[in-house]
Amino acid sequence: MPALSPRLAAIVDALPLRPGMRVMEIGGAPGAAAKEVARRLGTGHVLVVDRSAAGVAHIERNAADEITAGLLSVQQVAVEDFELLPSQEPFDLAFAIRVGALDGRHPEAGVMARRRIAAALTPAGRLLIDGGDPLREVELPR
């Protein structure tokens, strides 16, 4: 997979990552940002949630090494339908780039998406999306 674009690199650089964190990327195909986040987390874990079967397949191909190593996983589901699996621990951070349910393009889906994301995060968990400089935080219902 090629290096991150300057825009994607700036977004990943702006994420408040700490080693060992659990991070959820929403709509992450083809997996470039998730791979870089997983590399920076070291012992942490990245879950990529994507509604598209083709997107999930793309991530699985591009991040096969990280998936095999247990650093990254992929789940095909729309974010507004996402629920933690019984085996999943809550996430410390969620981020999304160009996701219509979170950037205002699909406000009805956005209401449910924010609820689902809030339920999947730790009490101090945050949601960051593109559209700021380069990111902005989205308020979540608690």
Q: Which residues of 69-104 are buried (b: 16+ CB within 10 A; e: fewer)?
A: eebbbbebebbbebeeeeeeeebbbbbbbebebbbe
Q: What is the pLDDT at residue 142? A: 81
Residue 6, both tokens: 């300057």
Give the residues of the chain that fall short of pLDDT 50: none
Strand bridging mode 121-130 / 135-137:
antiparallel
Q: What is the pLDDT at residue 3? A: 76
Q: What is the pLDDT at residue 74? A: 97
Q: What is the pLDDT at residue 96? A: 97
Please give the CATH topology (third level) of the domain spanning 18-137. Answer: Rossmann fold (3.40.50)
Average pLDDT in the chain? 95
Q: What length is written for the chain?
A: 142
Q: What is the pLDDT at residue 1? A: 54
Q: What is the pLDDT at residue 2? A: 59
Ranges of each domain in the chain: 18-137
Q: Which residues of 40-68 are buried (b: 16+ CB within 10 A; e: fewer)?
A: bbeebbbbbbbbeeebbebbbebbeebbe
